[in-house]
Structure 1
């Protein structure tokens, strides 16, 4: 999960590995979006991008909507990590659209502010940033996420670029992983696939709102890509998930990605692991190809 320990583990990992020095580490996050290069698709779709405003029971959510410029395609709801909708998630959403999906990247925090809510180089190592983001995230109750998920799915179903004959996918990073699972349960008749990237122990709790208890409510095929350091902190998470999916008869791929830190799939994270992020991206595309057909 995203916390002070995550930041310390990331910095120590990079320093020990000799990849960067301490001075460069402090600059890395701000520069990452500009310098990171995502592999290009051989036959990428031409896409159309826009900022959209979606009415929800609690207000108006400003979101990024990117889709192929021609034709109808499966819709996807993308839930960012705790730092929210920002340039790196627009880049990730655009990449998925180029692969043939109509992608809605949402702003978790629309009740309080338009995106982005923090600067690109914001770090959990900064106590004020941590306090601010946790304050925003604390308002995102299970009921709020469920309500928002329904509104986002309804928006997609109303778009000319979305093929309503095909299921919708949902995916999330960090806390967005749990939101993705909650989306699948909120609209089980429309969600065909759900993916969680470095959701880690955020997927499991002892309370009645734990996302793993929602598994029987959705038939969506699922991918859980777990960070190695999250697994070390909470090694039973993968076992609980595996047992819950098996009991529900729901297809699920659950894997701990070797050598990864929490956040490894996000380009502006200092511990971004390109090799493993590309592997996880490939598994996502396979999931959507099979389950959103």
Structure 2
């Protein structure tokens, strides 16, 4: 079961999709899905259904809401076409980590309004990976688990790089890394693991050999069904053990 809601944030009104189990129940545990670069769409809602059926109320918010109307984008070709590629890069640039972190309060309030009174998990894909981890750092009292899959720049030189937040994180963290991914090269992976180990964070970094950036999402050209099913197994186990 899914339906759209309006989320009042500090900067305006964001659209979001609520996904609940098909039996009509309203689980008191919640999950926020932080979208990839192509925005909320059916592929992410389907992924939300997979999570919801295991006993969660899922929210898929639009992180680009400050930029007005955009898309829809074809995840297979959008970055290969100059006009859509430029538009997506502009949307990403206008939606920084700090803004998404601030939105976390509204996202949690939206889930609370849907009956979520217990622990919350966060999972992000591509650009959403870092945002899920950042959300865990900013809302440690509610977010008890966070996962990133093919997340980029998790340990870059930027001031808002997620690895710098290790000392604020109380949640369990899982990072699923594409086998070849220029947005999260081996040196960043090592830096991330070192920061989280020093910070005393319960975490795991797993390398998915042979998978390309975007392998988990079914409308990506590099989607790999076996690899995606493995990601669901890891993600749902994380939530079962922590939420």
Which interval holds the TM-score relative to the shorter structure? over 0.9
- After TM superposition, list the pairs within 5 Å mapping 1:137-286 onto structure 2: 137-160=92-115, 162=116, 164=117, 166-200=118-152, 202-230=153-181, 234-286=185-237
Q: Which runs of 4+ in 1 moved over 6 A?
A: none
CA spacing shift, 1:115–1:187, aligned 2, 3 Å: farther
Greater fraction strand: 2
- CA positional deviation for 1:119: 4.6
Matched-pair contact (CA < 8 Å) for 1:85–1:116? no
- Equivalences, count: 241
In structure 2, the partner of 1:60 is: 13
**What CA distance in whole angstroms lies between the structure 1 residues aligned with 2:183 and 2:57?**
36
- CA positional deviation for 1:142: 2.5
**What CA distance in whole angstroms lies between the structure 2 residues aligned with 1:181 and 1:93?**
18
TM-score normalised by the chain length of structure 1 = 0.78
- CA positional deviation for 1:194: 0.2
RMSD: 1.7
- CA positional deviation for 1:146: 1.1
CA spacing shift, 1:114–1:63, aligned 2, 3 Å: farther
Per-residue CA deviation, residues 67-126 of structure 1 (Å, 9 max, x unaligned), is: 132243311110111001011111111121111110001111111235754356542111
Gapped regions of structure 2 (runs ≥ 5): none
